[in-house]
Amino acid sequence: MNAKILLCLVVVLSRAVFAAEVVSNTQPPELHTVWRYINYPFPNPAVQWDGSPTFSVTSGQQWDQVSRGLRVDIMDLKVGFAFFKTNSIVARLYRGNGEIVEPTEANKKLLNAPVSVSTFSVPGQEPNPQVMTYYPWGTNTLQEAWIEVSIGSERYWLEIPYGLDRNPTDPLPPAVAGGPPRFAPAMKSLTEHDHVLRWDNVHYVIGKTPDGRELTLIQSNPFDAQPRVDLYRSSKSQDLYSPRTSVQLLKPDGSVREGKCVDLHLDDNHLRRTDTFDLFDRGTDDLRCFGKIEIKIDDETYQVSVPSSLYAYVHGHAYKPAAVDFMSKLRVGMTLKDIERRLTAYNASHKSSKVVGESRQNEYAFNPDSGTVALTFDKSDRLESWKGD
CATH 2.60.40 location in the chain? 202-310
Query: Residue 14, Cβ neighbours under 10 Å: how many?
Result: 10
Per-residue pLDDT of the chain (389 residues; tens, 9 = 90+): 555 444 444 444 444 433 333 333 456 788 999 999 999 988 665 666 677 899 999 999 999 999 999 999 999 999 999 999 999 999 999 999 999 999 999 999 999 999 987 645 555 567 889 999 999 999 999 999 999 999 999 999 999 999 999 999 999 999 999 999 999 999 988 888 999 999 999 999 999 999 999 999 999 999 899 999 999 999 889 999 999 999 999 999 999 999 999 999 999 999 999 999 999 887 767 899 999 999 999 999 999 999 999 999 999 999 888 888 888 889 999 999 999 888 988 888 899 999 988 899 999 998 766 688 999 999 999 999 988 87
CATH 3.30.160 fits 322-388, yes or no: no
Region 202-310: CATH code: 2.60.40
Closest CA to 89 of 99, 100, 74, 104: 74
Tell if the pTM clears 0.75, that is, is over it. yes
Helices (H), 27-114: 83-86, 105-111
Question: How far apart (Å, rounded) are the C-alpha atoms in residues 212 and 352?
Answer: 68
Question: How far apart (Å, rounded) are the C-alpha atoms in residues 109 and 106?
Answer: 5
Find the helix or strand (DSSP H, E) in which 197 lies: strand 194-197
Q: Where are the beta strands (DSSP E) in 96-193?
A: 100-101, 131-135, 145-151, 154-160
| CA count, 13 A, side-chain hemisphere, 217 | 33
| CA count, 13 A, side-chain hemisphere, 192 | 4
CA 286 to chain centre: 18
